[in-house]
Structure 1
Amino acid sequence: MNVLVLALIGGYIFHLLHIPIPWMLGPIVVIVMAQFVYKGPLKWTPLTIDIGVVIVGTAIGVQFNVSLFNNIGSILFYMIMLNIILIASSIGVAYLIAKWIKVPVKSVILGTIPGGLGQIIVFAEEEKVSDLGVISYFQVIRLLLVVVVVPFIVAGQVMSKHETVAPMTSSLLFLIALSWVCARVSQKLHIPVAYFITPIIVIIALQLATPIAMPPVPSYVMAIAQLLIGAHIGLMLKPDMIKLPVRILVAGIVSAFALIILTLGSSFLMLFAMNTTFATSFLSTAPGGLDQMVLLANAIKADVSLVSMFQTFRLLFIFLLILPLLKLFYHWLEKRQNQQQVFEKKNEVRVKV
């Protein structure tokens, strides 16, 4: 079955129903449903998601408000503070859920921390963490629920947005192509979320270094990005995941909603401290995918620059700080458990003697 056809059908239906970000939510819902009905293969090349993310990154770079760098000190403070709150909340939720579903805490922590699925799974494999199926399910169900629920929390603002009527220009095509080439190079250098971060950095650098006027981004270009990314997300929830125990299935949903509620609360701190709109503060702190939250910010005319900064910082914060700290913690925990086992064996020998 053709995934592109399903994505187009879903996007068009959601567009007719005036549902927020229809060209992303429509493909997600239709493709998830199709996987549980259609037993044949649904093929979607990974290249498409990369193209979609590069388009989003390019659009953000074009629209980026470089004047934000004038207040980078205070922005950095709030980014650090809100990420500490988010990570601490994630670990707290993971600890409570692990006790409930009788799964090792370190597995649930990796399932609950809002990082990229691919990087989290690689980390879990390197650390020989068990329950990869549980980790994958928790990450995927959180992403799906955030992408589906968050747009309706700001639905009124979404539907008040007028489409940008602008032609596709050769300069925009050039910027997308340049972003693609640079992103490919960045990926080979193992830069985190290269297909999103690289276009933003390259185009901001062009804005700062040259007098080149940035071209407008037509609404249909962003709709194409929504469709490509939405189809990929829809394929992430595999029918096999539903074969997990009911308690784990429910726990994944509970943890996702717990994080949404917690970030909703922390977004009010950002709203009052930085004098932003509710939509901007909520999308900046929401535990969803970077590209999806930025796409939604673009759809509702929230501060795309601020949302992209906060979401990008969160991923880098997790990749460059939290995961290395978890690695050290897991190694310390394993060493302690081994010492405890040796101590218990010595006691058993003494008792027998």
Structure 2
Amino acid sequence: MIGGLPSAVWAADDVREIFSVQELRDLWLPPEITGLSVAPPPPPFVLEPGGEAFSGVYGADVSHHNTDCVGPNCKRCEIDWSKANAHGVRFVYMKATTGVGAVKPDVSFPIYWKALANFHTKGQIYRGSYHWLTSDAGHDGLKQAKHFLSVVNPKDAQLAPVVDFEEDPVSRDSDYYESHPQTCRIKKSSAGDVYYVCDGWVDVPKGERLQRLRDWLETVAKATSMIPIIYTRTSYWKEMLGAEGESLVKQYSLWLAQYPVEPRKWHDAHPGNGWRMPNLPKDAAYPPGKTGDKYPSRHFWQFTERGKFKTPVITCNGTPADKRSMDMNWYPSSEADFKQAFGLAQQALTKK
């Protein structure tokens, strides 16, 4: 964990979200039902071989969606991790589990985990795993942590584990959706069209949301001897947990999803000079790019879900899958700081 505890958790302007409608597409009803036109996705971020000019550590996160076959002629899709590494990817988080044991582990997890074992050992691409925390009745934090640990060997070489706390989409053909018309929230678009979001967490009391998170984090920390990380969005965290959630933010690092809608232009300069990156919590500041600067925060960013590579790294049936992309992330400091923040420095000491 980098630096001391923040004096205040969020900056005043962190309420400004820079997501587009498309980023939450899994939660919307189809446009043919609502009449709401779907916003076009933002332009893809393309990572060039050798990484970007600005210092920092780039990573990706993946699940089975990245290599699912589509269409009857698709036999196998896979990721060339050597090419990803050549483009500057230094860490990868992969989805391991959702909920409790009744929900199967992500089918791609054992494939990705095994493929990245040697990359991790050699210090080329560090691997880590995350758990999608669910709102289902009976899915308390302890049970979900045990499910995660039953799939992810807590003693394997890995980055600090992550718990994913975001909207828990409820299928509109489920019994829950039909029986919870009040908690499946209704909002209006700027054009006056109505769209619906059904989030299972809305029906869970705030205290229980917080307890599930705390139980998962404490259980996994004890089993892995690493301080876990929380993945979330700033506005959603505030809405679901409020001031009560600040105790967790002060204790654990945050992996924040904030997507600039406009195309990004990267500058080795202070953000005041046009460097387009997400808002920072109050205790954080971007380094201005001078030699020896330290990133004074514990947080890092998922900045796009449409990350691509100059040379495609995903193939299907041996053919480059040009249209496929993946989430991309950025830690704005040195690799030494990255290792410290993600628990790798402690692993190196243990080996000695």
Larger Rg: 1
Same fold (TM over 0.5): no
Compare the two structures and name the one with the higher helix fraction: 1
Q: TM-score range by the shorter chain?
A: under 0.3
Compare the two structures and name the one with the higher strand fraction: 2
The TM-score with structure 1 as length reference comes to: 0.27
The TM-score with structure 2 as length reference comes to: 0.27
